[in-house]
Structure 1
Amino acid sequence: MIPYEEMMDGLKEKSGLSKKELDKKVSQKYEELGGLVSMEGAAHLVARELGINLLVKKRKLKISDLKDGMKSVDITGRVSMITEPREFSRKDGTKGKVSNIFVSDGAGSIRIPLWDKQVDDLKGKIQEGEVISISNGLVKINNFGNIELRVSTFSKIEKVQDDGSIPFEKPNARPLAVETDINMIKEGFFSVKGNIVQLFKINFTYKMCPKCRMKIEEEDCPEHGKVKPETNMLVSAVIDDGTGNLRVVFFREQAKRLSGIEPNVLSDLGQDAAYDALKKAVLGRDVVVSGRVQRNKLFENLEIVANDVQEINPVEEGKRLIDEIKTLVGGYEGGKD
Structure 2
Amino acid sequence: MRRERKNNMVNFEEIEEIFKRLQGKLTPDEFRSRVETKFTEMNGLCDSRTAAMLVASELGLNENVKIRDMTADKGNVVFIAKVTSVGDIKEFSRDNDTMGRVVNLNLADETGSIRAALWDDAADLVKIGDIKIGQAIKVKGFIKQGQRGLEVNVGRGGNVEHVEIEVPVKVKAHKISEIKAGMNDLNILGKVLDIGKVRTFARKDGKTGKVANITIGDETGKIRVTLWDAKAESPGVNAGDIVEVMNAYARENTFSNSTELSLGSGGGIAKSSAVVTYKEPLTPISDIGINSAYSVAGHVSGIDDLREFDRPDGTKSKVSNIYISDNTGRIKVALWGEHADLVNELEIGSEIRIVDAYAKSGRNEEVELSAGARTSIQVIRK
TM-score in same-fold range (> 0.5): no
More helix by share: 1
The structure with the largest alpha-carbon Rg is 2
- TM-score, with normalisation over the residues of structure 1? 0.38
More strand by share: 2
- TM-score, with normalisation over the residues of structure 2? 0.34
